[in-house]
């Protein structure tokens, strides 16, 4: 698919270029924030798997510059930047217009004090003002001291401490492996990235803090929800409008970090390996026995009463009965849990799965930040050296 047809088929792709975002993912974070107020009381953030950096751009613009986006800016009549999220898609906007609009948006800004943002990715990332960027693998134990050092320059790696002395308020992880198309394998690799993100989070998050991570909703995702609910008071799954409905992608939003009493994160015994988590889920179920699902009965007079769970039966004598299907009660018994699902983002906004007509005079904009070291770079160089796609030298 060429750049031009992608413009038509993906409104957020075009909108991102119009508004100066490095990737369309920026809209996902903005829509998640609109729903969950993620940036409230937040000054210290870790952005995992951050390249090319559109989430870090959002953090920089909201926290460092104090810009407002979406509904929040709409409610604040002094802020002009609301249009940056709603966009002017399809009006033939040029790069220069974007800068003008950015300048306009820079009125009445309320930057936060002492903001610290650390971004990590396997890939190199072009610098962003005010953001510390690290090129590292989040699944590697050596990344923990690197991160602790970035968060606190006085951190002494020889102390072997795995905990931040000044913990952070929010950890984000938009990590995704190179998708193979083998569904189960992709979901497995994605879950390993998520566990790596969780392990880092447990080392650096302050009690009460928030954790947001990309997930692929696979067969065993309910197990993951129950495991996360050991550490967080609220665990929800969210699907921003800018994330294609056709994709299994969603975001797990975990609020109010409350590590169990006596819990110490340790990379010698990381979560997701062995059965430490399973044991913790079982221990939690023992402390707070999981209530067996109940059947609700609505009598003809409009009153409701609870009855023990039983397979779904049809109501009779004016009594309507609702009960959880058997598989669901099995799921409860095995320590699984179904997290609330929330769709977020303005419903009148663009549909990520739709194609849009564009005016004839519109132009195709270049990406805001072309990849610094794309995996296909060497292949392109070799093709060029060979005199084009049909040159004499083969790529082998």
For the annotated catalytic residues, the residue numbers are 214
The nearer residue to ligand SAM, 7 or 121, going by C-beta atoms, is 121
The nearer residue to ligand SAM, 123 or 234, going by C-beta atoms, is 123
Q: Nearest Cα to 162, choosing from 145, 146, 140?
A: 145
Contact call for residue 323 and ligand SAM (CB under 6 A): no
Between CA 161 and CA 38 the distance in angstroms is 28
Sign of CA dihedral 153, 157, 158, 160: positive
Angular region, 388: left φ>0, alpha ψ -120 to 50, beta rest: left
The nearer residue to ligand SAM, 14 or 80, going by C-beta atoms, is 14
Q: What are phi and psi of 61, to 5 degrees?
A: -75, -35
**Options 168-176, 326-334, 347-355, 387-395: segment touching ligand SAM (CB under 6 A):** 168-176
Between CA 224 and CA 238 the distance in angstroms is 15
Across-strand partners of 238? Answer: 251, 342
Q: Nearest Cα to 261, choosing from 225, 226, 287, 227?
A: 287
Task: Pick one of 90, 130, 145, 177: the residue that binds ligand SAM (CB under 6 A).
Answer: 177
The nearer residue to ligand SAM, 66 or 371, going by C-beta atoms, is 371
End-to-end CA distance of the chain: 25
Contact call for residue 192 and ligand SAM (CB under 6 A): no
Task: Pick one of 59, 131, 138, 198: the residue that binds ligand SAM (CB under 6 A).
Answer: 138
Contact call for residue 122 and ligand SAM (CB under 6 A): yes
Between CA 177 and CA 133 the distance in angstroms is 20
For residue 274, the minimal CB distance to ligand SAM (Å) is: 20
Angstrom CA distances, 198 to 109, 221, 325, stand at: 33, 15, 31
Contact call for residue 83 and ligand SAM (CB under 6 A): no
Between CA 15 and CA 85 the distance in angstroms is 9
For residue 29, the minimal CB distance to ligand SAM (Å) is: 7
Q: Nearest Cα to 342, choosing from 266, 230, 243, 203?
A: 243
Contact call for residue 17 and ligand SAM (CB under 6 A): no
The nearer residue to ligand SAM, 50 or 344, going by C-beta atoms, is 50
Contact call for residue 186 and ligand SAM (CB under 6 A): no
Contact call for residue 10 and ligand SAM (CB under 6 A): no
**Options 22-30, 101-109, 277-285, 339-347: segment touching ligand SAM (CB under 6 A):** 22-30
121 has binding-site annotation: yes
272 has binding-site annotation: no
For residue 339, the minimal CB distance to ligand SAM (Å) is: 22
Mark residues 46-75: x for contact with ligand SAM by CB under 6 A, - for none.
Answer: ---xxxxxxx--------------------
Q: Nearest Cα to 45, choosing from 111, 109, 110, 120?
A: 120
DSSP class of residue 178? Answer: P
Task: Pick one of 20, 87, 175, 240: the residue that binds ligand SAM (CB under 6 A).
Answer: 175
Using CB under 6 A, list all residues that contact ligand SAM.
Answer: 22-23, 25, 49-55, 120-123, 137-139, 174-177, 193
State the binding site for S-adenosyl-L-methionine.
Answer: 53, 55, 121, 137, 174
């Amino acid at each position: 698919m060429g750049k031009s047809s992608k413009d038509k088929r993906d409104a957020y792709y075009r909108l991102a270029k119009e508004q100066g975002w490095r990737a369309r993912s920026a809209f996902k974070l903005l829509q998640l924030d609109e729903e969950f107020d993620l940036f409230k009381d937040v000054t210290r953030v870790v952005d995992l798997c951050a390249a090319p950096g559109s989430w870090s751009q959002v953090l920089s613009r909201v926290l460092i510059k104090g810009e407002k986006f979406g509904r929040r800016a709409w409610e604040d009549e002094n802020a002009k930047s609301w249009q940056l999220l709603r966009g002017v898609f399809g009006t033939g906007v040029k790069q220069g217009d974007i800068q003008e609009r950015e300048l306009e948006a820079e009125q009445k800004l309320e930057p936060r004090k002492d903001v610290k943002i650390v971004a990590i990715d396997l890939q190199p990332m072009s610098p962003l003002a005010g953001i510390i960027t690290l090129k590292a693998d989040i699944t590697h134990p050596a990344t923990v001291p690197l991160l602790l050092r970035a968060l606190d320059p006085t951190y002494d790696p020889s102390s072997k401490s795995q905990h931040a002395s000044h913990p952070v308020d929010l950890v984000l992880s938009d990590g995704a492996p190179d998708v193979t198309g083998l569904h189960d394998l992709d979901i497995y690799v994605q879950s390993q990235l998520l566990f790596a993100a969780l392990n880092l989070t447990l080392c650096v998050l302050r009690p009460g803090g928030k954790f947001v991570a990309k997930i692929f909703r696979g067969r065993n995702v309910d197990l993951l929800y129950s495991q996360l609910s050991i550490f967080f008071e609220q665990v929800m799954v969210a699907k921003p409008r800018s994330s294609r409905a056709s994709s299994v992608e969603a975001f797990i939003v975990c609020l109010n970090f409350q590590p169990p009493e006596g819990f110490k994160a340790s990379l010698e015994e990381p979560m997701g390996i062995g059965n430490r988590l399973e044991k913790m889920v079982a221990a939690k179920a023992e402390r707070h026995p999981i209530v067996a699902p109940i059947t609700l009965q609505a009598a003809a007079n409009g009153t409701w009463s609870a009855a023990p769970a039983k397979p779904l039966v049809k109501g009779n004598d004016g009594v309507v009965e609702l009960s959880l299907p058997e598989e669901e009660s099995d799921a409860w018994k095995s320590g699984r849990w179904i997290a609330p699902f929330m769709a977020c983002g303005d419903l009148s906004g663009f549909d990520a799965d739709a194609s849009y007509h564009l005016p004839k005079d519109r132009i195709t904009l270049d990406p805001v930040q072309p990849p610094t070291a794309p995996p296909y770079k060497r292949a392109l160089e070799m093709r060029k050296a060979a005199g084009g796609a049909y040159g004499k030298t083969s790529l082998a």
